[in-house]
Structure 1
Amino acid sequence: MIRIGTVGTHWITQQLVEALALSQQYELAAVYSRHDQTAQAFAAKNHAQASYTDYATMLNDANLDVVYLASPNSLHFQQALAAIRHDISVIVEKPAVSNQGEMTALMAELAKHPHVRLLEAARNVHTPNFHALEKAVAALPTVQGATLTYMKYSSRYDNVLAGERPNVFTKEFSGGALQDLGVYPIYLAVALFGQPANVAYFPTLVATGADGKGIAILRYGDFDVTVNFGKTSNAYAWSEIYGLKETLALDSAGELTQVKAYAADGTAADLTQPDLPNPMLPEVTDFARLLQDPDDAQNAADYRRWLRWSQQVNQVLYDLRVSANLYFPADEN
């Protein structure tokens, strides 16, 4: 069994813990929260072995194989770095870090700890529906572009409208739409088409100064990918990938729960795979086989691909922000 500790007690961590239980390959060894009552309540609910209010103590005392980070974006780097230095592998919620400087520092530290793995929890590219889409894209005679959409109204935007500054909508915590929902379609584009040659971002800023929604253009030389995402409204339009007369359609570039392939005559073939009991189950299953057998040839190849995607996505996110003159305090460090 893989001994895991968690950082964060919000809904995403709860969903992760439930996926871990379904996989039957992990044991929840430790829970961290800044507040003792919150840590103890989350630990009791999920039958964790221990709870902590000091992150360093958890890393020192809990005998962890891996730690899961679901803290505010701006904290990911220091928490991941500390775990790596303790020879503990890391599963970090997207985005892994705030900028390229932080990613470069993590890569340098990983080189000193060859048994440690850094894994970004971009769940959509681990799903069976992604693998079905990936095969369909590879079968297209040519690709002429794509439009990828993921837009969901955030309850925290109500707080912004009320004059507050929730973490997910502040630059101080490396927040905003691009760093949240935008990561999923960017991941999809990078995983399917590689790293773009040029990018541009056109954000709509909210009262906190962070981006609430935006449109990103990823240029691949002979085709473009338009990415539409946001946290201040809802979108119901399907995303599409364009061949010649063929078109691939997906219900959501983030959730990726339905996939269709349209032939030249307009008839649609349903490529959708069976429903998942938990949307995070495929990624924690993938991560488990890697952590349990990192030297297996397929597992090692998959890890190299996942790590490459993480580095490329981080570069794209940073380049998009630079194109929009959108900087974080983390960039100054």
Structure 2
Amino acid sequence: MKQKIRFGVIGTNVITEQFIKAASKCEAFELSAIYSRTKTRGEAFAKTYGVKHVFTDLEELLTSDVVDAMYIASPNALHADQAILCLNHKKHVLCEKPLASNIKEVEAMIEAAKANQVVLMEAMKTTLFPNFKVIKENLHKIGTVRRYFSSFCQYSSRYDAYKAGTVLNAFNKELSNGALVDIGVYTIAPMISLFGMPQEIKASAYLLESGVDGEGTVIFKYPHMQATVMYSKISNSYLPSEIQGEEGSLLMNKINQLDTVTIHYRNGSVEEIAIEQDEDNMIYEVQEFIDLILKDQKESQINSYQFSHDVMKVLDEVRRQIGLVYPADLKDMDKA
């Protein structure tokens, strides 16, 4: 019988539900424990999935020896402290994107993972999609790349509540939220994975009264190309994302799904290069994470420490330019 990896989950939200649905397709996955701040919510969530271990004290969960790994889907401001606690208890950690609030938290998390010799991986799903690999393998077909453009603008269902006077998590600065880190990161992470770090960054954004960004635009300069990304939680866009080369352009219908990828060549011909992906597309990040544990490898070669560090470095610079400071930025990690 194949070895099972016993998972605990932090967070009883829609993202966690999607994670469990996808992870359940992985042979080595076993859901063993639920952590929730409220017992009632935790028990209700556990009942849905037939889980007997429910905790409202994270330390108690981590010392109970019922889990090997933890999936963290709590608010962004809690990621670092919770992940470091898990890592210090020798538990492998798969942490939702963004990995943390800022670069100093990311560095502290990486340090804890290395010190405890356990896996830490950011759950940036798109870079692990089969179609992202297809993009990498076919990028040469469009010749010298001159422009990367990505748009992810999705009107948030929580924005109506915000306009009515209720500030939910998605627009709460105390929780290190906002459009950039919620969906803007989906436009930036693939760019860094494909082309590395930019030479220059110029960012602008519209800040809401709650203090977070509702939408933004960032222009990046590379030695031989430019990149532009647009993101929003207060309006919709139906534009595809695109990589423009001298011999053609590669179009991606949805940067966070990548289920359609097409090359439009300069001579007028069109090539569909996408392959079929699992509809529960979080399966790829879960399988990557589980494989690392089973193979006793401490770091993903795709969603690597350096990759997460680079992405967060860019997010920090964008926030600096648009004037978005989180309470977490003022926290001393040495005293966390």
- What TM-score, normalized to structure 1? 0.95
CA distance in 1, matches of 2:41, 2:9: 13
User: Following superposition of structure 1 onto structure 2, how do residues 145-294 of structure 1 map, counting pairs within 5 Å?
Assistant: 145-294=147-296
Corresponding letter in the other structure for 1:322: R
Corresponding letter in the other structure for 1:120: E
Aligned to 1:56: 59
Alignment deviations for residues 131-153 of structure 1 (CA, whole Å, 9 cap, x no partner): 11111224443110111011111
CA distance in 2, matches of 1:133, 1:260: 9
- Correspondence 1:136 to 2:134: no
Alignment deviations for residues 138-191 of structure 1 (CA, whole Å, 9 cap, x no partner): 444311011101111111111110112112112111000001001111111111
Aligned to 2:125: 123
Q: Are the equivalent residues in 1 in contact too, given 2:143–2:247 (CA < 8 A)?
A: no
Runs of 4+ in 1 over 2 A off after TM superposition: 138-141, 300-307
Q: Are the equivalent residues in 2 in contact too, given 1:290–1:303 (CA < 8 A)?
A: no
- What TM-score, normalized to structure 2? 0.94
CA distance in 1, matches of 2:141, 2:100: 34
CA distance in 1, matches of 2:301, 2:91: 16
Corresponding letter in the other structure for 2:325: Y
CA distance in 2, matches of 1:220, 1:71: 34
Aligned to 2:33: 30
Number of residue pairs the alignment of both structures matches? 328
CA distance in 2, matches of 1:41, 1:227: 40
Query: Structure 1 residues 39-48 or 198-207, which shifts more?
Result: 198-207
**SS at 2:138's partner residue?**
helix
Q: Are the equivalent residues in 1 in contact too, given 2:264–2:270 (CA < 8 A)?
A: yes
- Correspondence 1:310 to 2:313: no
- What is the deviation of 1:262? 1.1
Q: Are the equivalent residues in 1 in contact too, given 2:86–2:92 (CA < 8 A)?
A: yes
- Correspondence 1:84 to 2:87: yes
Q: Are the equivalent residues in 2 in contact too, given 1:137–1:192 (CA < 8 A)?
A: no
Query: Structure 1 residues 310-319 or 267-276, which shifts more?
Result: 267-276
Q: Are the equivalent residues in 1 in contact too, given 2:8–2:69 (CA < 8 A)?
A: yes
Aligned to 2:101: 98
- What is the deviation of 1:62? 4.1
**SS at 2:304's partner residue?**
helix
CA distance in 1, matches of 2:203, 2:59: 38
Gaps of 5+ in 2: 332-336
Alignment deviations for residues 257-302 of structure 1 (CA, whole Å, 9 cap, x no partner): 210011122221111111413010111111111111124xxxx674
Q: Are the equivalent residues in 2 in contact too, given 1:28–1:49 (CA < 8 A)?
A: no
Gaps of 5+ in 1: none
Alignment deviations for residues 111-133 of structure 1 (CA, whole Å, 9 cap, x no partner): 3112x111111111111111111
CA distance in 2, matches of 1:15, 1:142: 38
Identity of counterpart residues, as a percentage? 33
CA RMSD between the two structures: 1.4
**SS at 2:158's partner residue?**
helix
Distance 1:51 1:184, change over 3 A: same
CA distance in 2, matches of 1:103, 1:138: 33
CA distance in 1, matches of 2:255, 2:116: 34
Distance 1:31 1:138, change over 3 A: farther
Q: Are the equivalent residues in 1 in contact too, given 2:206–2:214 (CA < 8 A)?
A: yes
CA distance in 2, matches of 1:138, 1:282: 25
Corresponding letter in the other structure for 1:155: S
Q: Are the equivalent residues in 1 in contact too, given 2:178–2:212 (CA < 8 A)?
A: yes
CA distance in 2, matches of 1:111, 1:69: 18
Corresponding letter in the other structure for 1:311: H
Corresponding letter in the other structure for 2:214: G
Q: Are the equivalent residues in 2 in contact too, given 1:74–1:98 (CA < 8 A)?
A: yes
**SS at 1:179's partner residue?**
helix
Corresponding letter in the other structure for 2:47: A
CA distance in 2, matches of 1:125, 1:231: 22
Corresponding letter in the other structure for 1:240: E
